[in-house]
């Protein structure tokens, strides 16, 4: 891989080492197709671990991962914690509401204290866009920062588990039309998804929603904007629904949830506009009867629960690559060695 020239004024370039390896994972922007594909390929090595009798590998043994969630999250924090434990890392979940930051200590002081304890990685969710970029500029070079969602800006691991889901079930991105539907305005997931889909060469990326939740700036990112479900869903291969983020809405951006569901909720009838073999996805948590019908969420085209399972593998891939510079080849070699060891133990038992 070609070397990467860093610029101290561009926070995105901090993500890669001089030889092009992943150091932090802050945003899809500033990365490249090769890195994204390496993440997906590395996740392939981990995706079936949940079915094994021993669900751990020693890739991060002796490393310490700290989960710093300044916003509530169940699914994301749980999958990051499980991913770290499956890699044999020590995990510390910091309760921000009870931490020293709630007593007046600055975030920088908190980070420095955690670094002094020998932490190797911070997984951070924060309400302020760009918070993780700031933190990445403050930590010592041996500490990796993973963005678990910042404001409206980015959620790169969610986007990558979505890309993994699409690739596993639909194959070549260049042949795919993908529709993202709902609250685009407040969605950090949508921004990361559009970047990743374009970087991986998707044929077409469509965004569907009411004008009040559909920023024109997304057209500059290479997406096509639609305000009618019938038009936006026509012949698409993938439909990704988004949650209405009412907690981030200022003013009356919607007439009512019922009206939103009537126009933009994914029902069996509306899904018929997509291709017959289209897959349905949702980053969760889902609101049944608001953005998606239960018959669709639980139906044969839905991959919503698959996304959760794939999320563990993607986060294992990102963590192993960022902390120890593991490549997909090295990961596969260590997994094969671990499997041989397990087989020998079973044979001698």
DSSP labels for 198-267? HHTT-SEEEEES-GGG--GGGGGGTPEEES-HHHHTTT-SEEEE----GGG--S--SS-HHHHHHHHSB-
Strand ranges in 142-189 using DSSP code E only, listed in sequence order: 144-150, 177-181
Task: For residue 107, give the H/E element and its range.
Answer: helix 107-116
Highest mean pLDDT among 11-20, 100-109, 240-249, 275-284: 275-284
Specify whether 34 is located in the same domain as 111: yes
User: What's the confidence (pLDDT) of residue 134?
Assistant: 87
Specify whether 142 is located in the same domain as 262: no
User: What's the confidence (pLDDT) of residue 264?
Assistant: 95
- Which of 60-69, 103-112, 328-337 bottoms out in mean pLDDT, i.e. has the lowest? 328-337
Q: Quote the CA–CA distance of 254 and 232 in Å, as a whole number.
A: 20
Exposed / middle / buried, residue 181 (Cβ in 10 Å: 0-12, 13-18, 19+): buried
Specify whether 145 is located in the same domain as 228: no
Specify whether 62 is located in the same domain as 77: yes
Specify whether 146 is located in the same domain as 169: no
User: Higher confidence at residue 137 or residue 196?
Assistant: 196
Is 103 annotated in some ligand binding site?
yes
Q: Give yes or no for residue 101 having a pLDDT over 50.
A: yes
Q: Give yes or no for residue 146 having a pLDDT over 80.
A: yes
Strand ranges in 27-162 using DSSP code E only, listed in sequence order: 64-69, 90-94, 121-126, 144-150
**Does 191 fall in a domain?**
yes
**Does 213 fall in a domain?**
yes
Is 243 annotated in some ligand binding site?
yes
Q: Quote the CA–CA distance of 298 and 283 in Å, as a whole number.
A: 14
User: What's the confidence (pLDDT) of residue 325?
Assistant: 62
φ, ψ for residue 340, nearest 5 deg: -65, -40
The domain that holds 220 is classified in CATH as 3.40.50.1370
Q: Give the model's confidence band at 300: pLDDT under 50 very low, under 70 low, under 90 confident, else very high.
A: very high
Is 284 annotated in some ligand binding site?
yes
Q: Give yes or no for residue 128 having a pLDDT over 90.
A: no
Closest CA to 12 of 24, 30, 33: 30
Specify whether 88 is located in the same domain as 41: yes
**Does 344 fall in a domain?**
no
User: Higher confidence at residue 138 or residue 349?
Assistant: 138
Q: Give yes or no for residue 324 having a pLDDT over 70.
A: no
> Is the Cα dihedral 121, 122, 123, 128 positive or negative?
negative
DSSP 8-state class, residue 315: H
Specify whether 126 is located in the same domain as 70: yes
Specify whether 162 is located in the same domain as 237: yes
Q: Give the model's confidence band at 20: pLDDT under 50 very low, under 70 low, under 90 confident, else very high.
A: confident
Closest CA to 42 of 338, 341, 325, 345: 325
**Does 205 fall in a domain?**
yes
Specify whether 123 is located in the same domain as 210: no
Task: For residue 81, give the H/E element and its range.
Answer: helix 75-86
Q: Give yes or no for residue 307 having a pLDDT over 90.
A: yes
Q: Quote the CA–CA distance of 298 and 172 in Å, as a whole number.
A: 26
**Domain that residue 266 falls in:** 156-298
Highest mean pLDDT among 151-155, 189-193, 341-345: 189-193
**What's the rounded mean pLDDT across residues 82-108?**
78
**Does 228 fall in a domain?**
yes
**Does 137 fall in a domain?**
yes
Specify whether 46 is located in the same domain as 169: no
- Which of 166-170, 191-195, 250-254, 325-329 bottoms out in mean pLDDT, i.e. has the lowest? 250-254
Is 228 annotated in some ligand binding site?
no
Specify whether 243 is located in the same domain as 316: no
Domain total of the chain:
2
User: What's the confidence (pLDDT) of residue 255?
Assistant: 63
**What's the rounded mean pLDDT across residues 312-324?**
92
Is 24 annotated in some ligand binding site?
no
Specify whether 201 is located in the same domain as 231: yes
Closest CA to 74 of 85, 65, 63, 82: 82
Contact 281, 310 (CB under 8 A): no
**Does 336 fall in a domain?**
no
**Does 44 fall in a domain?**
yes
């Amino acid at each position: 891989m070609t070397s990467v020239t860093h610029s101290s004024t561009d926070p995105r370039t901090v993500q890669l080492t001089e030889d092009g390896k992943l150091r932090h994972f802050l945003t899809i922007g500033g990365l490249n197709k090769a890195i994204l594909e390496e993440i997906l390929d590395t996740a392939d090595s981990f995706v079936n671990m949940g079915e094994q009798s021993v669900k751990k590998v020693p890739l991060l043994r002796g490393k310490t991962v700290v989960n710093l969630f300044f916003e509530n999250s169940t699914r994301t924090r749980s999958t990051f914690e499980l991913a770290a434990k499956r890699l044999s890392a020590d995990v510390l979940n910091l309760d921000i509401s009870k931490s020293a930051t709630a007593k007046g200590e600055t975030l920088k002081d908190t980070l420095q204290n955690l670094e002094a304890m020998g932490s190797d990685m911070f997984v951070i969710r924060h309400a302020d866009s760009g918070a993780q970029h700031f933190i990445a500029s403050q930590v010592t070079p041996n500490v990796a920062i993973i963005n678990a969602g910042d404001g409206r800006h980015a959620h790169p691991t969610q986007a990558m588990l979505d890309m993994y889901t699409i690739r596993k079930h639909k194959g070549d991105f260049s042949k795919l039309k993908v529709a993202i539907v709902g609250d685009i305005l407040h969605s950090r997931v949508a921004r990361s998804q559009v970047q990743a889909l374009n970087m991986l060469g998707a044929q077409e990326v469509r965004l569907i929603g009411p004008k009040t939740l559909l920023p024109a700036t997304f057209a500059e990112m290479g997406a096509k904007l639609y305000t009618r479900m019938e038009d936006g869903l026509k012949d698409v291969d993938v439909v990704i629904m988004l949650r209405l983020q009412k907690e981030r809405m200022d003013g009356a951006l919607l007439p009512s949830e019922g009206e939103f569901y009537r126009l933009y909720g994914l029902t069996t009838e509306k899904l018929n506009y997509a291709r017959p073999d289209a897959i349905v996805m949702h980053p969760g948590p889902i609101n049944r009867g608001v953005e998606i019908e239960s018959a669709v969420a639980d139906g044969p085209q839905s991959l919503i629960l698959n996304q959760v399972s794939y999320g563990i593998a993607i986060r294992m891939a990102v963590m192993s690559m960022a902390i120890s510079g593991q490549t997909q080849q090295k990961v596969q070699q260590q997994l094969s060695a671990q499997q041989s060891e397990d087989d020998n133990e079973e044979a001698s038992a």
